[in-house]
Amino acid sequence: MIFILNNDTVVIKDMGTFRMRTTRTVLVGAVIAAASLGSVASASAEGEVNIYSFRQPFLIQPMLDAFSKETGIKTNVVFTDQGLVERLKAEGLNSPADVVLTVDVARLTELAKADVVQPVSSPVLDENIPKNFHDPDDLWFGLTTRARAIYASKDRVPKGTITSYDDLTDPKWKGKVCSRPGDHSYNIGLLGAMIEHVGVDAARTWLEGVKANLGQKPAGADRNQVKAIMEGICDLALANTYYMGAMLADPEQRAWAESAYMVFPDLDGHGTHINISGMAMTKSAPNKENALKLMEFLSSDEAQALYAEVNHEYPVKPGVPRSDLVASWGEFTADTIPLAKIAAHADEALRLVNETGFNEGP
């Protein structure tokens, strides 16, 4: 198996040869060693399935190990968080990739728009994954869900004070709100949901209100915003739910998580905005039968329970229990809007971010 970490990429030159672009020379030896053990499978290989992944290997490996144990099918993984769509377009029908695993609906929609994935007809997927987590043409499917929560300071924000996303625009929080950049896909998804529910003008007003309350220029990732709460820079921050579990599991970040509690905010009566991780079958899919087996397995009770435990996410399949930690965060009403409708507003959402100058800060 091949695992390339961070933002470094492995580019497949042909069916058994690797060429690498990286500024981290320490990875060269690792790639050579990995290639000597076996490269991404050839297009005609039996008993294998090739995966391009936006998700880091440690987040998906337990599920892939379980799949291989059950089916005997070997999984080969190439990881990178940049350039996968361009790579698939360049490789065309000669691509060795069978399945793409992604981190949010924006990435899934990008794959569909680029015409590098194919529709999948599967009664198993139809039964296991609710329709609002499907592409309308079954070009992609959700695997897990996560809520776009508000993290609030335990010391400075009494519980019950924050109930909705609109609360982030209250002038009493001026200089006390933190967020990663507005053009990140997680925030674009939230804005897309707002545009769908309340319209462009109201979404713009909300974004301007949040900008006016920012305590610092948007930068970093979700965890950095929670760290800012611990440091007293902010009292409130937007961040995905699973980061709470990730921070609690990290000795260096545990104090960040313990400084805050999560709120599941309402969006104009529609509940809390949620996003997904997901999967799609590539248009080339040389191992199409195995690709379908993998996709169906990832929607199964076993894989969904593993996702819930390992990644602190919510299972997309109804009836699969949450992990004990995730369950301890409490119940909430999730927005049930089809995520394809949210993704359709991505361009409008990005325009709002740029027009309001959100990323310039307060």
Task: Output the pLDDT for position 57.
Answer: 80
CA distances 80 to 32, 53, 119, 253, Å, are: 17, 6, 24, 24
Which pLDDT belongs to residue 291?
98
Q: d(Cα 66, Cα 302) in Å, to the nearest integer?
A: 8
In this structure, which amino acid lies at residue 303?
A
**Is the CATH number of domain 9-144+276-321 3.40.190.10?**
yes
Backbone angles phi, psi at 18, to 5 degrees: -115, 140
- DSSP conformational letter for 321: P
Side chain identity at 44, as an amino acid letter? Answer: S
What does the block give as tokens for 315?
């299972």
Angle formed at CA 238 by CA 359 and CA 145, multiple of 5 degrees: 120
Per-residue pLDDT of the chain (362 residues; tens, 9 = 90+): 433 333 333 333 333 322 323 333 223 333 322 332 234 434 334 599 999 998 888 889 999 999 999 999 999 999 987 888 999 999 999 999 999 999 899 999 999 999 999 999 999 999 999 999 999 999 999 999 999 999 999 999 999 999 999 999 999 999 999 999 999 999 999 999 999 999 999 999 999 999 999 999 999 999 999 999 999 999 999 999 999 999 999 999 999 999 999 999 999 999 999 999 999 999 999 999 999 999 999 999 999 999 999 999 999 999 999 999 999 999 999 999 999 999 999 999 999 999 999 999 99
pLDDT score of 1: 41
Contact 3, 34 (CB under 8 A): yes
Decide: 2 and 35 in contact? Cβ < 8 Å: yes
Are 9-144+276-321 and 146-273+330-360 equal in CATH topology?
yes
pTM: 0.85
Measured between alpha carbons, how far is 135 from 9 in angstroms, rounded to an integer? 28
Would you list the domain boundaries of the chain? 9-144+276-321, 146-273+330-360
**Superfamily of domain 146-273+330-360, CATH level 4:** Periplasmic binding protein-like II (3.40.190.10)
Q: How far is CA 96 from the centre of its chain?
A: 24
Instruction: For residue 155, report the phi and psi dihedrals to the nearest 5 degrees.
Output: -85, -30
User: Cβ(304)–Cβ(318) under 8 Å?
Assistant: no
- State the number of CA atoms in the 13 A half-sphere of 185 facing the CB: 15
Cα separation, 175 vs 228, whole angstroms:
12
Q: What's the CA gap between 68 and 49, in Å, rounded?
A: 10
pLDDT value at residue 46: 57
Q: Residue 322 gets which letter from DSSP?
A: P
Residue 273's pLDDT is what?
Answer: 98
pLDDT at 225: 98
∠ Cα 150 211 356 (to 5°):
130
